[in-house]
Structure 1
């Protein structure tokens, strides 16, 4: 765990990939694909949650492209590292992690935004109701539980502490700890940590239980913004342009479907997806879902959401000024959604038929 200022300077160390390792990525078939490419995409999911590609597939928006689940993750940096090294075909992470991955010479491109912060979808830093912690300075010497280090939550914590007037030495005395998301609320209530980072359905479930209060949230800190993108390797995009276009456009359409569809119907659909995949997951927290929080139409990337973290990482000294350019990090070429294309009607399912 990062317990000193020195260790904290290893921010995003999960992404210290060598160019050689990254260049060894393969297609989903395990060998270079021909012009026709693969129509199967390997990916990692999140326990108890429905990620946008899973929603897109269930809606029929991925057409003949199939998803192949290879396991779950709780870490964005780990997820995009897996994509960069060819263990999976796409991965998603906080945009600061994407920037750092590119700075380590990984030939990847961000292709679509998939999560963000708005008034419904945000990560909050919560303390117990009777906690003496009221300000950034009160966090010195305290433990903050989050899903992974070197990603969204640690970046938000760092910005909050900086704005609170703490020096780098003082910031180094705040201890971020990795706690599985499904255990974070319980870990806070048992006082094993002082602050818990909670988001989405897990946050709303904890708030419904009561006894906690927010110290701050990323939405209060930075307003509404797209926070993370899915990436694919440049090699995969060259070899499988049609598959990439179907995937990205389908995810974009799923974003817009989730915005325009009654919340109860979205939740019913998600519940049906989780139930059908048979991974022994609790579907109860899904009823708290409200939004994916993506700021732009169909998840299209503007570049500003990446430039924010390029500048921030450069100020921290994690990357050199001018080392990466936002225009080199992303492409909207594969996203036909949001350009006036008509979205296909969702495929029928028991969830959509149930109304609710």
Structure 2
């Protein structure tokens, strides 16, 4: 089982982010108001932009799939360095990349947590783990470090009275999401972070119980945003507006449309793109978790993670100006809702 220490992860992401930030000339396609947007997808899943394209909400914009992303931080670094035109990640990762002087701007929320779409921390039914203190000395498996799942774990431990020294005794281990449930059942880890389709599948299989979830901790909230480079926005303002507004419209459609209809549309999208993947897991889809109309970004959705990173020592105080990090300027959908 592959493991990564927090220190090594931060060093690696720091190097990658600095490399991306060093590309001060990062561009999208380099063409003013381009009609093609390059992006990375996810196996067996349909992102809000892909849904928007299928529904016709992107108008004449075309999405060009260049491969699948391995994580949110990697996805936004690809956008910052000009390998893709947009990327999405947990807001803490967006703040961290901006702190490295990457030329990015968050333009719309695209995922979050609600009563249907949440990330839970699960143990086996017979596990002796019942409280936060029981996690000391235990292994928690998650998809990456320094991002959403580790932030939720830190908040949970602090909220339940553990000191920083005690919290550091809870071991965080990187495990690919598709292997997390199996690792828990085989007792390679003590706690598994499961969300969305993988969570519902594990619950259907039985034998696991929830310790807590991000929704339990914070209620409904938007957790991740799509970013564009500042130069791309300057060169392609109308493209940015069409993209952001179209994605916002797709988020609203998914939230207000009958679930069976949404799943049927997503299944059709996966079948048509012919990437040699299965759409079977889509039957577990419930929500993108974005409750704000049109995916509008609120400052607190970024500032809470800037504060968390500062408290951890990953970010110097005042390193990032959160109000300068995002914009709702191109989101006509959110403006109408307001």
TM-score (norm 2): 0.93
Structure 2 partner of 1:208: 204
Q: Indicate conservation of the 8 Å contact 2:17/2:77, yes or no.
A: no
Matched residue count: 335
Does structure 1 residue 298 correspond to structure 2 residue 299? Answer: no
Structure 1 partner of 2:18: 17
Quick one: distance in 1 between partners of 2:83 and 2:115?
Answer: 35
Quick one: distance in 1 between partners of 2:327 and 2:314?
Answer: 24
Does structure 1 residue 166 correspond to structure 2 residue 162? Answer: yes
Q: Indicate conservation of the 8 Å contact 2:21/2:103, yes or no.
A: no
Does structure 1 residue 103 correspond to structure 2 residue 99? Answer: yes
Structure 2 partner of 1:177: 173
Q: Secondary structure at the match of 2:188?
A: coil
C-alpha offsets along residues 72-101 of structure 1, whole Å, 9 cap, x if unaligned?
123111111111111111111111111111
Structure 2 partner of 1:350: none
- Shift of the 291–131 alpha-carbon distance from structure 1 to 2, 3 Å rule, reads same
Correspondences of 1:148-159 after superposition (within 5 Å):
148-159=144-155
- Shift of the 166–227 alpha-carbon distance from structure 1 to 2, 3 Å rule, reads same
- Shift of the 21–152 alpha-carbon distance from structure 1 to 2, 3 Å rule, reads same
- Shift of the 15–90 alpha-carbon distance from structure 1 to 2, 3 Å rule, reads same
Structure 2 partner of 1:27: 28
Give unmatched runs, 5+ long, in structure 1.
342-356
Superposed CA RMSD in Å reads 1.9
Structure 1 partner of 2:134: 138
Q: Secondary structure at the match of 2:332?
A: coil
Quick one: distance in 1 between partners of 2:155 and 2:326?
Answer: 24
Structure with the bigger percentage of helix? 2
Q: Secondary structure at the match of 1:193?
A: coil
Q: Secondary structure at the match of 2:333?
A: coil
Structure 2 partner of 1:315: 311
Give unmatched runs, 5+ long, in structure 2.
none
Structure 1 residue 309 displacement after superposition: 1.2
Quick one: distance in 1 between partners of 2:101 and 2:301?
Answer: 20
Structure 2 partner of 1:230: 226
- Shift of the 14–247 alpha-carbon distance from structure 1 to 2, 3 Å rule, reads farther
Structure 1 partner of 2:214: 218
TM-score (norm 1): 0.89
